[in-house]
């Protein structure tokens, strides 16, 4: 068995579902969105894939069979819509895809859908909360969704993350440096001066674009302070929360 869902054949998936252990499908949720001048559009997909990958060994140890579904690279991302390369889809469209994936998982006998999300646009987080509720009530499929914008989980993350200056800054740049360093434009990172503007404060005050929020280059925070070591540490924190959320949804 391969943890990457799409690399398995259908008989391999069938065998996993027929065995005794509960089978979990992890859907990494990202976006295709501008992330400063130095990080790729795919940043949130890379981070969500990494969160899922770091969670796999702990799940295996706990006797949980888990697969990583192909990641979802489209999400509501209107704040970044003015930047070339951002492809924002409606909350309704994204929720429809997630709901339909859940319907398929339920019909096939999966025990749980886990959402590994790192795209914190409020419209995306709201959509994920709502679709989680709909899947659990309408399909009776448990959904593990560690929501890092909730205070309890946010407190486990870095100071920059908690400050709200957290888009393509030290936090996300460290994560990409840890897993896909070749995709970081290093001269552009070094040229990205500190931008302490808090994106979450700006959202709360009604800003509708990164520019209005004080991020004319589509980044907030401190890209120059990023390190691969911080990225690895953060992956471990993200993965631990994902594992805990999954275990809470499975029969003891
Ligand atoms: Zn991001």
161 confidence band (pLDDT: 50, 70, 90): confident
Residue 27 — φ and ψ, nearest 5°?
-105, 105
Q: Strand, coil or helix: what is 134? A: helix
Tell me the CB-side half-sphere exposure of residue 10, using CA atoms within 13 A.
1
Alpha helices for the chain (secondary structure H): 10-18, 43-61, 91-108, 122-134, 151-154, 159-163, 170-179, 186-190, 199-204, 228-249
- State the distance from the centre of ligand 1 to the C-alpha of 1, rounded, in angstroms: 31
Lowest mean pLDDT among 58-67, 140-149, 156-165: 156-165
- State the distance from the centre of ligand 1 to the C-alpha of 121, rounded, in angstroms: 9
Token pair 């990023």 in the structure block, residue: 226
Segment 35-55, tens digit of pLDDT: 999 999 999 999 999 999 999
- State the distance from the centre of ligand 1 to the C-alpha of 251, rounded, in angstroms: 33
- State the distance from the centre of ligand 1 to the C-alpha of 41, rounded, in angstroms: 9
- State the distance from the centre of ligand 1 to the C-alpha of 231, rounded, in angstroms: 14
- State the distance from the centre of ligand 1 to the C-alpha of 95, rounded, in angstroms: 19
Segment 166-215, tens digit of pLDDT: 899 999 999 999 999 999 999 999 999 999 999 888 888 999 999 999 99
- State the distance from the centre of ligand 1 to the C-alpha of 119, rounded, in angstroms: 5
163 confidence band (pLDDT: 50, 70, 90): confident
> Do residues 169 and 219 make contact, with C-beta atoms less than 8 angstroms apart?
yes
> Do residues 28 and 52 make contact, with C-beta atoms less than 8 angstroms apart?
yes
Could you tell me how many residues make up the chain?
A: 252
Measured CA angle at 64 (ends 58, 67), to 5 deg: 85
Lowest mean pLDDT among 151-165, 212-226, 236-250: 151-165
Dist. CA 177–CA 172, nearest whole Å? 9
Dist. CA 127–CA 132, nearest whole Å? 8
For the chain, list the domains and their CATH numbers.
Answer: 5-249 (3.40.50.10310)
- State the distance from the centre of ligand 1 to the C-alpha of 169, rounded, in angstroms: 9
- State the distance from the centre of ligand 1 to the C-alpha of 50, rounded, in angstroms: 13
Dist. CA 6–CA 221, nearest whole Å? 36
- Residue 221 forms beta bridges with which residues? 195
Would the pTM of this model clear 0.75, i.e. be above it?
yes
- State the distance from the centre of ligand 1 to the C-alpha of 249, rounded, in angstroms: 27
């Amino acid at each position: 068995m391969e943890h990457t869902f799409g690399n398995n054949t259908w008989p391999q998936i069938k065998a996993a579902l027929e065995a005794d252990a509960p089978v979990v499908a992890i859907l990494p949720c990202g976006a295709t969105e501008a992330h400063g001048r130095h990080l790729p559009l795919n940043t949130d997909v890379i981070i969500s894939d990494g969160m899922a990958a770091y969670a796999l060994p702990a799940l295996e140890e706990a006797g949980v069979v888990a697969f990583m579904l192909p990641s979802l690279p489209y999400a509501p991302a209107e704040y970044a819509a003015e930047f070339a390369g951002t492809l924002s889809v409606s909350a309704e469209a994204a929720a429809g895809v997630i709901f339909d994936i859940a319907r398929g998982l339920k019909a096939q006998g999966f025990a749980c859908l886990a959402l590994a999300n790192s795209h914190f646009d409020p419209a995306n987080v709201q959509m994920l909360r709502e679709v989680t509720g709909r899947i659990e009530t309408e399909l009776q499929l448990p959904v593990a969704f560690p929501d890092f914008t909730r205070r309890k989980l946010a407190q486990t993350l870095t100071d920059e993350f908690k400050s709200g200056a957290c888009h393509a800054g030290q936090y996300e740049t460290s994560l990409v440096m840890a897993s896909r360093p070749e995709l970081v434009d290093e001269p552009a990172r070094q040229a990205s001066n500190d931008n302490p503007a808090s994106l979450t404060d700006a959202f709360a005050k009604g800003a509708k674009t990164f520019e209005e929020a004080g991020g004319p280059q589509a980044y907030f925070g401190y890209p120059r302070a990023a390190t691969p070591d911080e990225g690895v540490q953060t992956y471990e924190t993200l993965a631990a929360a994902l594992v805990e959320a999954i275990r809470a949804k499975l029969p003891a």
